[in-house]
A and B are shown apart, each in its own frame.
Chain A
Amino acid sequence: MTSTSPATSLPTAGGATAAAPATRHRRSLASRRSNLLTLAMLALLIYFLLPLFWLVVASTKTTADLFSSFGLWFADDFSLVSNIRKTFAENDGVYGRWMLNTLFYALVSAGGAAFLAALGGYGFAKYRFRGNDALFGLVLGSIMVPTTALAIPTYLLFSKAGLVNTPWAIILPSLVSPFGLYLMRIYAQDAIPDSLIEAGRIDGAGEMRIFFTIVLRSLAPGIVTVLLFTLVATWNNYFLPLIMLNNPDLYPVTVGLATWSAQAVGGSGSNPDLLALVVTGSLLSIVPLVAAFLLLQRYWQSGLSAGGVKG
């Protein structure tokens, strides 16, 4: 029973088959209600997009115009390009460094976490070794352990090991994703038939070889899901880099923007001109992730549907 439903939610088949019957049998009712519902949803959509529209508009303004012109429309002076140029030029181009740091931390962490989760999730799903359930239960229980409760002891351990103020301080703690493991276990259970593994064994392939040549490809949507969600978690991380790093050259963009904004609003010795750069830097910092989600939506949505069901 369980093996039939996820099959429909796998990559390409899902879109067409699942939606069609749902829309078909209700089309008769649809025409009347859809306008009202669409309007209500439009209000919701405006709530979610308006702040972003404000951000786009604000990054075309000088700091003076930010104060004097209306927030939801452009000022006479269109200074997006000069804002971008100034953002990248400030403090000898430290913003570019922050972006590259974020990209590096996020890609390495997410790649590592997704790989570990795929390997482990497949192991838990397909091998009945002794202690399987107990170990998996332990990992599952740890989903509730808040990462920030770990941050301070991790910092103390890392400072003993000399890892504080290095990229490792950000990457190592981000490699563990208990939820990713959970998601991959469910995904592997459904997406990898035992017969596929058995066929590989009959062909004389070793277990690792079977994983890398046959299994990995079928796990791809699940892996992309875990990859994207860990990517977001690391990209958005603030607490961990805030405590682990005190060298501005190592900051990710979140901590960098926070220090700039502190300088922009702080009392004496503050630099209000930074305000426009904080706004522009904020906009630039969200472009890569938004683009990644839009481009990869087909993958992460199908990967999630496997995980969401069994909750």
Chain B
Amino acid sequence: MTAAGPTPAGGRSRRRGPSHANSGYLFVLPFLLVFLAMLVLPLLYAAYLSLFREQLVGGTVFAGFDNYTRALGDDRLVKGVLRVARFFLLQVPIMLALSLAAALAIDSGLLRFAKVFRLGIFVPYAVPAVVATLMWGYLYGPDFGLFAQIAGKLGLDRPQFLSADHMLGSMANIVTWEFVGYNMIILYAALRAIPHDLYEAAAVDGAGSWRTAWSIKLPALRPALLLCLIFSVIGSFQLFAEPQLLQRLAPNVIDSAYTPNLYAYSLAFTGQEVNYAAAVSFLLGLVIVVASYTVLLVTNRRSRA
């Protein structure tokens, strides 16, 4: 904007520009310093550690990519990664569909008490994953769990939420419960920012609310939906608190490698295999970045086609 006006004043401010511009460093420096120390440094350190191996004789020795070849051939790790990938494919579509439906419903103006719904659905986001998991764990429980009680009253078999077959679904339910509200709020915020002249134009064209939702709201929501999707990729692949806590209720179903993160944790703190754990962490980070970019690429290509 300033560059557009070749007036004397504009010229002066442009000449003074660089000095102003450079004070930008002052503003971004504190963030960047902490960013380097707390994000870049640990990442590099993990990469460095992952190249070594601890031996009973000779201490820590350089191992090249041995840890990585071991990880890629590690059945427990591969199974864990596939399990969280399955979790992602199962849970995220349901969660995002519910969030989208709720956001559209609240924004549609067709709803009574819209504000109550918006806040009520959002509340679980303020509940820590630990509390949510403990709570759902008690609800699932075969003894005094709510569902077991209800099934008992109705004379039905007690549902086995914590069995091997249903564990992933039970966990998906907990995560869905926690995060629908959060995603809904992001989507709702994006809906509210759609300029109203678009709605007016649609109304003039005689579009109903379904048509408006489909042709105006959904396209406008794309960036926000993508953001939610990326956050969901990251969240799913680093699943930790839920399986770690449910492990106590179902020790035979959830082993120490149920999710890759749980595996890295037990490698580092139970098995004392720090170098291998670093390689696993690093690989997991890589998997997440690759998965996120795949999501970005796929959605971009689809929108262009």
Check if A and B associate: yes
Interface residues of A (CB under 8 A from B): 4-6, 8-9, 14, 17-19, 21-23, 25-27, 29-30, 33-34, 37-38, 40-41, 44-45, 47-49, 51-52, 54-55, 58, 66-68, 70-72, 116-117, 119-120, 122-124, 126-130, 132, 135, 139, 142-157, 172-173, 175-176, 178, 181, 194, 198, 201, 207-208, 211, 232, 235-236, 238-239, 243, 253-255, 257-258, 261-262, 265-266, 278-279, 282, 285-286, 289-290, 292-294, 297, 301, 304-311
In the complex, the answer to whether A45 meets B120 with C-beta atoms within 8 Å is yes
A110 to B278, CA, bound (A): 28
A239 to B180, CA, bound (A): 22
B24 to chain A: which residues have CB within 8 Å?
A: 123-124, 126-129, 132
Give B265 Cβ to nearest chain A Cβ, in Å.
Answer: 7
Closest A residue to B27 using CB positions: A123
Q: Is B56 an interface residue (CB 8 A)?
A: no
A63 to B121, CA, bound (A): 29
Listed stretches B71-79, B86-94, B241-249; interface member: B241-249
Interface residues of B in 102-153 (CB under 8 A from A): 102, 105-113, 116-117, 119-132, 134-136, 138-139, 143-146, 149
Q: Within the complex, which residue of B34, B119, B138, B248 is in contact with A294, where a contact is CB–CB below 8 Å?
A: B119
Q: Within the complex, which residue of B38, B139, B245, B261 is in contact with A261, where a contact is CB–CB below 8 Å?
A: B245
Give A92 Cβ to nearest chain B Cβ, in Å.
Answer: 22
**Chain B interface, DSSP helix/strand/loop, else mixed:** helix
In the complex, the answer to whether B134 meets A153 with C-beta atoms within 8 Å is no
In the complex, the answer to whether A135 meets B131 with C-beta atoms within 8 Å is no
Chain B interfacial residues counted at CB < 8 A = 113
A208 to chain B: which residues have CB within 8 Å?
A: 26
Give me 13 A-to-B residue pairs in the complex whose CB atoms sit less than 8 angstroms apart, sorted by A's number: A25-B200, A48-B181, A144-B234, A144-B289, A150-B42, A152-B265, A153-B42, A176-B39, A201-B20, A254-B129, A285-B128, A286-B127, A311-B226
B27 to chain A: which residues have CB within 8 Å?
A: 119-120, 122-124, 127, 207, 211
In the complex, the answer to whether B130 meets A238 with C-beta atoms within 8 Å is yes
Give A211 Cβ to nearest chain B Cβ, in Å.
Answer: 7
In the complex, the answer to whether A145 meets B43 with C-beta atoms within 8 Å is yes
B196 to chain A: which residues have CB within 8 Å?
A: 17-18, 21-22
A181 to chain B: which residues have CB within 8 Å?
A: 31
Q: Is B254 an interface residue (CB 8 A)?
A: no
A123 to chain B: which residues have CB within 8 Å?
A: 24-28, 31
Q: Is B68 an interface residue (CB 8 A)?
A: no
Interface residues of B (CB under 8 A from A): 1-2, 13, 17, 20-28, 30-32, 34-35, 37-43, 45-46, 49, 98, 102, 105-113, 116-117, 119-132, 134-136, 138-139, 143-146, 149, 177, 180-181, 185-187, 189-190, 192-193, 195-196, 199-200, 203, 208-209, 222-224, 226-227, 230, 234, 237-238, 240-241, 244-245, 248-249, 261, 264-265, 268-269, 274, 277-278, 281-282, 284-285, 288-289, 292-293
In the complex, the answer to whether B227 meets A30 with C-beta atoms within 8 Å is no
In the complex, the answer to whether A279 meets B138 with C-beta atoms within 8 Å is yes
A146 to B121, CA, bound (A): 26
In the complex, the answer to whether A293 meets B122 with C-beta atoms within 8 Å is yes
In the complex, the answer to whether A238 meets B185 with C-beta atoms within 8 Å is no
A232 to B126, CA, bound (A): 7
Closest A residue to B115 using CB positions: A297
Give B223 Cβ to nearest chain A Cβ, in Å.
Answer: 3
Count chain A CB atoms within 10 A of each CB in B21, B39, B136, B230 and give the residue with the most.
Answer: B39
Known contacts A116-B31, A239-B241: A145-B39 contact under CB 8 Å: yes
B30 to chain A: which residues have CB within 8 Å?
A: 116, 119-120
Give A17 Cβ to nearest chain B Cβ, in Å.
Answer: 8
Closest A residue to B23 using CB positions: A207
Give B32 Cβ to nearest chain A Cβ, in Å.
Answer: 7
Give B27 Cβ to nearest chain A Cβ, in Å.
Answer: 3
